[in-house]
């Protein structure tokens, strides 16, 4: 082989090496972006910013949070699905993003199974049933009795058609053999305002937004949709205690990357985030201290979790007979 041919071969090899997949020792090579499919200030956003702040320190590279809300998380999911698969763009996904949307929409602009790789499942929140103070019911039994006496007249609020809140209400209605009237809102804050203002009778929400409203006496807490009683509301019964063992519900938030992201990069991100969320100070500020539950599931465990979560959502949505297009 002559010198010119040798130089060409070397150049090709160097070019391939530069364009090849990222390795963990090279990552991160630039700013890392965590895309949150909700407005700033919500649960997912706050947790993401806590993680981003610590990662910035650990990696000596900027890690920022970018909010892309709307369309039941579809806008953010589509954006990250089309991003370069090098670990520098991550999505703070949740139940709709990866589990329920595929059963709610006939046509999705992304594939929740094929377009992402699980990185780390961070936290979850249990769902609770709240009613307005002046409704005149003291417990779930009273609520069911009232609803049966007034079929279709009692109202519940949710943060959108097909949302976790609506699916919870439909599931409970089936279990209790009652009819409720759905009133959709844009977000949890709107639901809570309507409940406090007396525009709706009840709502299913996550624990964190319920805590200040319950502690201030603005709403009444009837039950928690958890397998056991929860620490922040130790005196509140579970639905199972009240005769509804199938009324168990939670919402989760976890980081995923575009499909094709190198395994070693995924493991590096997962390891760094796991170390962050394992810190007691982080948990007190961003997890248990605000009513969330730590999951901290790595890629393999997160994948198993998703498979089960999707099965449960498929069954619930089929039962609710909800379609968004």
CATH of the domain at 159: 3.40.190.10
- How far is the C-alpha of 218 from the C-alpha of 212, rounded, in Å? 9
Q: What was the pLDDT predicted at 11?
A: 47
Higher-pLDDT residue of 96 and 164 is: 96
Q: What was the pLDDT predicted at 32?
A: 98
Residue 142 confidence (pLDDT) above 80: yes
- Residue 51's pLDDT band, with cuts at 50, 70 and 90, is very high
Q: What was the pLDDT predicted at 3?
A: 53
Are the C-beta atoms of residues 35 and 92 closer than 8 Å to each other? yes
- CATH number for the domain that contains residue 114: 3.40.190.150
Residue 19 confidence (pLDDT) above 60: no
The answer to whether residues 120 and 267 belong to one domain is: yes
| Number of compact structural domains in the chain | 2
Is residue 232 assigned to a domain? no
Judged by average pLDDT, the poorest of 5-19, 109-123, 265-279 is: 5-19
- 148-182 residues labelled b (16+ CB within 10 A) or e (exposed): eeeeeebbbbbbbebbbbbbbbbbbbeebebebeb
The answer to whether residues 214 and 142 belong to one domain is: yes
Is residue 131 assigned to a domain? yes
Q: Of 1-10, 12-21, 65-74, 265-274, which has the strongest mean pLDDT?
A: 265-274
Is residue 246 assigned to a domain? no
Is residue 165 assigned to a domain? yes
Is residue 190 assigned to a domain? yes
The answer to whether residues 194 and 276 belong to one domain is: no
Cα within 13 Å of Cα(12), Cβ side: 6
Higher-pLDDT residue of 97 and 162 is: 97
* Range of the structural domain that residue 135 is part of: 126-224
The answer to whether residues 194 and 277 belong to one domain is: no
- How far is the C-alpha of 81 from the C-alpha of 88, rounded, in Å? 12
Among candidates 175, 173, 284, 293, which has minimal Cα distance to 227? 293
The answer to whether residues 137 and 116 belong to one domain is: no
Is residue 17 assigned to a domain? no
Task: Evaluate the omega torsion of the peptide bond into residue 28 and state whether it is cis, within 30 degrees of 0.
Answer: yes
Residue 221, both tokens: 């807490």
- How far is the C-alpha of 275 from the C-alpha of 61, rounded, in Å? 17
């Amino acid at each position: 082989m002559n010198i010119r041919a040798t130089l060409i071969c070397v150049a090709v090899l160097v070019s391939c090496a530069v364009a090849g997949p990222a390795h963990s020792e090279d990552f991160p090579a630039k700013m890392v972006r965590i895309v949150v499919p909700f407005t700033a200030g919500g649960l997912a956003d706050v947790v993401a910013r806590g993680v981003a702040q610590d990662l910035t320190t650990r990696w000596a590279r900027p890690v920022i949070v970018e909010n892309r809300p709307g369309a039941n998380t579809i806008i953010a999911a589509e954006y990250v699905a089309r991003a370069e698969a090098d670990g520098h763009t991550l999505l703070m996904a949740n139940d709709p993003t990866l589990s329920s949307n595929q059963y709610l929409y006939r046509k999705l602009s992304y594939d929740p199974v094929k377009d992402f790789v699980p990185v780390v499942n961070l936290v979850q929140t249990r769902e609770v049933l709240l009613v307005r103070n002046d409704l005149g019911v003291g417990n779930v039994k009273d609520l069911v009795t009232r609803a049966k006496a007034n079929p279709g007249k009692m109202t519940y609020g949710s943060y959108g058609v097909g949302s976790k809140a609506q699916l919870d209400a439909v599931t409970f209605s089936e279990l209790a053999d009652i009819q409720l009237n759905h009133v959709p809102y844009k977000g949890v804050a709107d639901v809570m305002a309507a409940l406090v203002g007396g525009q709706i009778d009840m709502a299913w929400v996550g624990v964190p937004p319920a805590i200040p409203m319950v502690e201030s006496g603005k709403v009444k807490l009837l039950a928690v949709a958890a397998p056991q009683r929860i620490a922040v509301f130790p005196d509140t019964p579970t639905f199972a205690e009240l005769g509804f063992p199938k009324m168990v519900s939670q919402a989760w938030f976890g980081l995923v990357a575009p499909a094709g992201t190198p395994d070693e990069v995924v493991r590096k991100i997962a390891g760094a985030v796991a170390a962050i969320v394992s810190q007691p100070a982080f948990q007190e500020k961003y997890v248990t201290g605000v009513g969330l539950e730590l999951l901290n599931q790595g890629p393999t465990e997160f994948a198993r979790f998703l498979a089960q979560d999707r099965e449960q959502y498929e069954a619930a949505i089929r039962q609710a007979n909800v379609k968004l297009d």
